[in-house]
Structure 1
Amino acid sequence: MEHPAQIGHNSKDRSVQITVRLFNSVAMNSPHLPAQLERTYPVGTTIDHVVRDLSLPRKDLFLILINGRDISSGRVGDLNISREIEDGDIVAFSGPVPYSYGYGAPVV
Structure 2
Amino acid sequence: MPHFKSTEVPCPQIEWQELMNSSIINDDPIASITSIQTALYNRFGNTNNSKFLVNCATYQKQYISTSELVKNENLKENNFLLPQNMFFSSSGDGYCNINSNGIWCQIAALQA
Alignment TM-score, normalising by the size of structure 2:
0.28
**Highest relative contact order (Cα 8 Å, sep 6+), 1 or 2?**
2
Larger radius of gyration: 2
Larger fraction in helix: 2
TM-score by length of 1: 0.28
